[in-house]
Amino acid sequence: MTNFTPTTNELFKVLRTKGALKQEVFGKTLEAFNLFKIEAEILAAQYMMKSLPDKPMIPFEYYDRGEFEFRMKFGADVLIYMMHTNVFEFSRDHEVMRNPYVKDDKRRSYCGIIHIFNFLADSFKYNRTQDIGYLIGRIFVNREHHYFIEGKREVGLLYNNFPTSKMNRKAVQNIIRSAMLYTINFDLLTPPYNSMKEVTVLEIQTALDAMQIRTGKRMGFRFEADES
């Protein structure tokens, strides 16, 4: 087998081509993420406008946490949206790579990623740093603003047509609402008795101060059980 050593010009061409592609994908993903920020803030404002004075106030708040993160706090839950600053390509075994849309132009397989995590609001309120959160979805965005989602139930099943799904305001609204609906219906279950029957003195002392006993919506249960 003969090793190929590129010339300087060939090397620079590859560097420029790949670098420009990744910058383009990053820019499109950041545009999509900023659209998520706008729509999340609008939704929180709409909720406040429709709040009824004679009903108990269920909180719904939007927090901008910088260029690559924002949070939506509603009821007992927090959704954290985080954009990864790197660009990724799918493995050869991924189903996306078998799609004619990607086979026609391999550049379409390069994507930025927006993650959606679900945590309990009390985990942050009481600084319960050992509590568990869940990745409920991740959104892939390519250079053509096409997207698809890997996720749980409402989040992932409706948005997996990569060749035709384009990121726009309506798509973002649907994704945000679907993520919220899944989170609201993803109830906190009591952990198995055997996982809680032994507690250290330190855990009890800490719990008395800040309710620090480790909590998660499915403590002791496999998250995969919620895929139906």
Residue 224 scores a pLDDT above 50: no
Question: Are 136 and 114 a contacting pair, CB within 8 Å?
Answer: no
Residue 203 scores a pLDDT above 70: no
Looking at residue 27, what is its pLDDT?
A: 97
Question: Are 25 and 110 a contacting pair, CB within 8 Å?
Answer: yes
Phi/psi for 56 (5° steps) reads -60, 140
Looking at residue 209, what is its pLDDT?
A: 59
CA 131 and chain centroid, separation = 18
Q: Structural domain boundaries of the chain?
A: 10-187
CA distance 136 to 115: 8
The tens digit of pLDDT for each residue in 170-196 reads: 999 999 999 999 999 877 666 666 655
CA distance 159 to 221: 27
CA dihedral of 223, 30, 169, 142, whole degrees rounded to 10: -70
The tens digit of pLDDT for each residue in 88-136 reads: 998 888 888 999 999 999 999 999 999 999 999 998 998 888 888 889 8
CA nearest neighbour of 118 among 76, 84, 146, 88: 76
Question: Are 61 and 73 a contacting pair, CB within 8 Å?
Answer: yes
| Ramachandran category for residue 108: left, alpha or beta (phi over 0 → left; psi -120 to 50 → alpha) | alpha
CA distance 153 to 139: 14
Average pLDDT over residues 200-220: 56
